[in-house]
Amino acid sequence: MRKHSRRFQEILQKVERGKIYKPIDAINVLKDLSNVKFIETVEAHIALGLDPKYADQQLRSTVVLPKGTGKKLRIAVITKDEKTRRYLNGEADVIGFENLIQEIKDGRLDFDKLIVTPDVMSSVAKLGKVLGPRGLMPSPKAGTVTTNLYDAVKQFRLGKLEYRVDRSGIVHVPFGKLNFSSLDLISNLSALYNSIDKNRPSGSKGKYCKSVYLSTTMGPSVLIDHLMIKDSVI
């Protein structure tokens, strides 16, 4: 049985177990419960009626959070085109081609997102053992393999993020920081939920969304009424 700290046990007692909260009330509760010395991330845990072992029930897509993620990303770009590299200087944090590929191979991982052009993927694919375990491997579905590097970098700066369903049919997504206003967090949550709804896999049958829990980095989870999310109802 999982053991919790005394701090966690104390705040857990302030949550009404079994209660289904309105989204805005749940966020306010999480704000009130936070008692750590750093700004926590707010996460959504969305259980879907999917079995990802079937190809037509897999879910992987991206969404641009209207209020951003609250996290400053370090973005790396790999492209053969020297003119593009010069153009992106100042936009991306790390830019290169063969030199950067070799540095990553040697262990350089001081970035949060890697964006590449399609023509370098054959070389980048060889870095799978380094990038894959850290969730940094570029892919077209994630918007990190593209010919439009400038727009891709800009979107990720504005709050674009990738989400996917895990093996148990749950999507875990951070959608803001606890110091965001409650309405800003609701706006981000609505954008995320609507994106998941819009990208419902063709093989999905029956009830699509089973439950939505919200939590913070160091706090308990709170069950919300997901039917109130879709149109930003608070």
DSSP string, 62-81: EEE-TT--S----EEEE-S-
Using DSSP's 3-state secondary structure scheme, residue 61 falls into: strand
pTM for the full predicted model: 0.81
1 has a pLDDT exceeding 60: no
Residues in contact with 93: Cβ distance below 8 Å, sequence separation at least 6, in sequence order: 74, 75, 76, 111
As a whole number, the mean pLDDT across the chain is: 90
Domain that holds residue 180: 15-69+160-228
Given this model, what pLDDT does residue 6 score?
A: 66
Helical pair 23-33 and 182-198, crossing angle rounded to 10 deg: 130
Lowest mean pLDDT across 3-12, 53-62, 92-101, 172-181? 3-12
- Which of 119, 135, 157 terminates a domain? The answer is 157
Given this model, what pLDDT does residue 26 score?
A: 93
* Contact assessment for residue 174 and residue 182, using Cβ atoms and an 8 Å cutoff: no
What CATH number did the domain enclosing 23 receive?
3.30.190.20
Q: Same domain for 82 and 117? A: yes
| The most confident of 14-28, 77-91, 114-128, by mean pLDDT | 114-128
What CATH number did the domain enclosing 108 receive?
3.40.50.790
d(CA 200, CA 112): 27
Given this model, what pLDDT does residue 16 score?
A: 66
- Enumerate the β-bridge partners of residue 171: 46, 165
* Contact assessment for residue 90 and residue 180, using Cβ atoms and an 8 Å cutoff: no
d(CA 124, CA 138): 8
Q: Look at residue 10 and tell me if it is in a domain.
A: no
54-64 burial, b at 16+ Cβ within 10 Å, e below that, comes to eeebebebbbb
Give the chain's end-to-end CA distance (angstroms, integer).
Answer: 36
Residues in contact with 133: Cβ distance below 8 Å, sequence separation at least 6, in sequence order: none
Show the CA angle centred on residue 178, arms to residues 176 and 181, nearest 5°. 85
For tokens 């990553």, name the residue: 104
Q: For residue 157, which amino acid is it? A: R
Q: Look at residue 3 and tell me if it is in a domain.
A: no
Query: Which of residues 71 and 111 earns the better pLDDT score?
Result: 111
- Which of 157, 190, 208 terminates a domain? The answer is 157
- The tens digit of pLDDT for each residue in 56-85 reads 999 999 999 999 998 888 999 999 998 999
18 has a pLDDT exceeding 90: no
222 has a pLDDT exceeding 60: yes
Phi and psi, residue 119, nearest 5°: -75, -10
Given this model, what pLDDT does residue 4 score?
A: 58
Q: Same domain for 92 and 195? A: no
Given this model, what pLDDT does residue 233 score?
A: 45
Q: Look at residue 234 and tell me if it is in a domain.
A: no
How many domains are contained in the chain? Answer: 2
